[in-house]
Amino acid sequence: MTKKKMVSGITPSGTMTLGNYLGVVKQWVEFQNEYDMYIFIANLHAITMPQDKEKLRKNLKEVSTLYFACGMDANKSTIFLQSDVMEHAQLGWIMNTQSTMGELSRMTQFKDKSAKVESSGKESIPAGLFTYPTLMAADILMYDVDFVPVGVDQKQHIEIARDIAIRMNNKFGDLFTIPEALITKNNIKIMDLQDPTKKMSKSSTNPKAIITMLDKPEEIRSKIKAAVTDSENLIKYDFENKPGVTNLMNIYMILKGITKEQAEAHWNNKNYKDLKDDVAEAIVEMITPIQNRYNELYNSKEMEQWLEDGANKARKIAYKKLQKVQNNMGLNYKRK
Ligand code: AQP
């Protein structure tokens, strides 16, 4: 039986966070035994926000190495750098012409990120930030995947990709498989440690607000110790009224694979210090072997080869898809 296909990626706009790991990467590692996975490092998406070139290079290498250190396997999955398969940008341009200003204007991520750029007072909003979803639609539709595993925050992007695919299939013939968003089984957003009403983001300007997958154990302990909670000293799962405490509980629950009820029972009659100690130790326990593997792989020829093989494999499929799209749209003069 042929395996169902999936595509997903992370933008190297900072070091991979605990949110990225628990939200998606942990599931990719489990999925790769069951699905045919196309996993890329979304460097072309990173430049939709202003980037320092040296930092970008560093982030890119860290995210790539972390994919493998977290357990992604080049023998099971197709893992590559987005810009190594230029068909993504070419199909992205085509998607650009097949989407509307109206639908792009409704994207909440554009509203959030453009507000961030504006408030910095240093840069203007790049046009690529507005058209970001069309490149993402190309990434998603290129490989005829069945599913796109994403965190809850990314659902809108999958919907626009589906809309564009349906529109193009109707206009130009059967071009794309219509994919489903696979909201990962934990279905939980990991929140900012200093403002638990907003999500933990790798591009955060406050290092205390996020745990990165490369933080040292003592940094992890100190960030969790300083995480915002409330003054009640009552460990209860209630995101509305206790977002900080609930966020810490969520992290622990995912890491230990336990339910809300089990978590509440675990901390019955305990205080916030106990909660924070347990959460910090659970993170350190998970992260230590990943960091050890990361140190082995960083700068290795082995990893370079994996990325090259992944790009070669992806490029073959992408080339065929782009040819078909161009033919059906009347862009190739030799073929019908
Ligand atoms: N805090 C989070 N909790 C759960 N899932 C998360 N994801 C991101 N943050 C959390 C999921 O990770 C995947 C990678 O997303 P991305 O890197 O392409 O962009 P993003 O969602 O914008 O991630 P960040 O960390 O917030 O980056 P910046 O700071 O650049 O905006 C996605 O599937 C996302 O759902």
Atom of ligand 1 nearest to the CA of 45: 18
Residue with the bigger pLDDT between 125 and 246: it is 246
**Spacing, Cα 20 to ligand 1 middle (Å):** 5
**In angstroms, rounded to a whole number, what is the distance separating the alpha carbons of residues 302 and 310?**
12
Is the predicted pLDDT of residue 17 greater than 70, yes or no? yes
5-183+300-329: what fold? Rossmann fold (3.40.50)
**Spacing, Cα 166 to ligand 1 middle (Å):** 26
Pocket test for ligand 1, best of 154, 188, 253 (most atoms within 8 A of CB): 154
Per-residue confidence (pLDDT) for residue 152, from 0 to 100: 72
Mean local confidence (pLDDT), 55-82:
97
Q: Which tokens hold the place of 233?
A: 């000293």
For the chain, residues classed under CATH 3.40.50.620 are 5-183+300-329
From the CB of 10, is ligand 1 less than 6 Å away? Answer: yes
- Check: CB of residue 293 under 8 Å from CB of residue 225: no
- Check: CB of residue 251 under 8 Å from CB of residue 282: yes
CA distances from 149 to 2, 23, 231 (A): 19, 9, 37
User: With the CA atoms of 165, 168, 174 and 178 taken in that order, what torsion angle do they form, in degrees rounded to the nearest 10?
Assistant: 10
Band (122; pLDDT cuts 50, 70, 90): confident
Within 13 Å and on the Cβ side, how many CA atoms surround 90?
16
Mean local confidence (pLDDT), 255-263:
95
Pocket test for ligand 1, best of 13, 18, 20, 48 (most atoms within 8 A of CB): 20
75-79: Cβ within 8 A, 24+ apart? 76/32, 76/33, 76/37, 77/28, 77/32, 77/36, 77/37, 77/38, 77/39, 77/310, 78/36, 78/37, 78/38, 78/39, 78/310, 78/313, 78/314, 79/39, 79/40, 79/306, 79/307, 79/310
> Is-catalytic flag, 199?
yes
Q: Which tokens hold the place of 243?
A: 């977002």
| Single-letter code of the amino acid located at 241 | N
Mean local confidence (pLDDT), 196-211:
94
Band (19; pLDDT cuts 50, 70, 90): very high
What are the tens digits of pLDDT across the range 160-182? 999 999 999 999 999 999 999 88
Within 13 Å and on the Cβ side, how many CA atoms surround 292?
6
Q: Which of 9-18, 143-152, 277-286 has the lowest mean pLDDT?
A: 143-152
**In angstroms, rounded to a whole number, what is the distance separating the alpha carbons of residues 59 and 71?**
18
**In angstroms, rounded to a whole number, what is the distance separating the alpha carbons of residues 7 and 179?**
10
Residue reference for tokens 């916030």? 272
- Check: CB of residue 67 under 8 Å from CB of residue 25: yes
From the CB of 140, is ligand 1 less than 6 Å away? Answer: no
> Is-catalytic flag, 256?
no
**Ligand 1 atom 35: residue of nearest CA:** 151
For the chain, residues classed under CATH 1.10.240.10 are 207-295
Task: Please count the other Cβ atoms lying within 10 Å of the Cβ belonging to residue 77.
Answer: 22
Mean local confidence (pLDDT), 263-268:
94
CATH, domain range 207-295: 1.10.240.10
Mean local confidence (pLDDT), 74-89:
98
Per-residue confidence (pLDDT) for residue 112, from 0 to 100: 86
Eight-class DSSP state of 39: E
* The total number of residues written for the chain in this structure: 336
From the CB of 156, is ligand 1 less than 6 Å away? Answer: no
Q: φ, ψ for residue 257 (rounded to 5)? A: 65, 45
- Check: CB of residue 107 under 8 Å from CB of residue 64: no
Mean pLDDT score across all residues of the chain: 94
- Check: CB of residue 13 under 8 Å from CB of residue 51: yes
From the CB of 250, is ligand 1 less than 6 Å away? Answer: no
Per-residue confidence (pLDDT) for residue 129, from 0 to 100: 93
> Which one, of 229, 214, 216, lies nearest residue 272 by Cα?
229
> Is-catalytic flag, 113?
yes
From the CB of 5, is ligand 1 less than 6 Å away? Answer: no
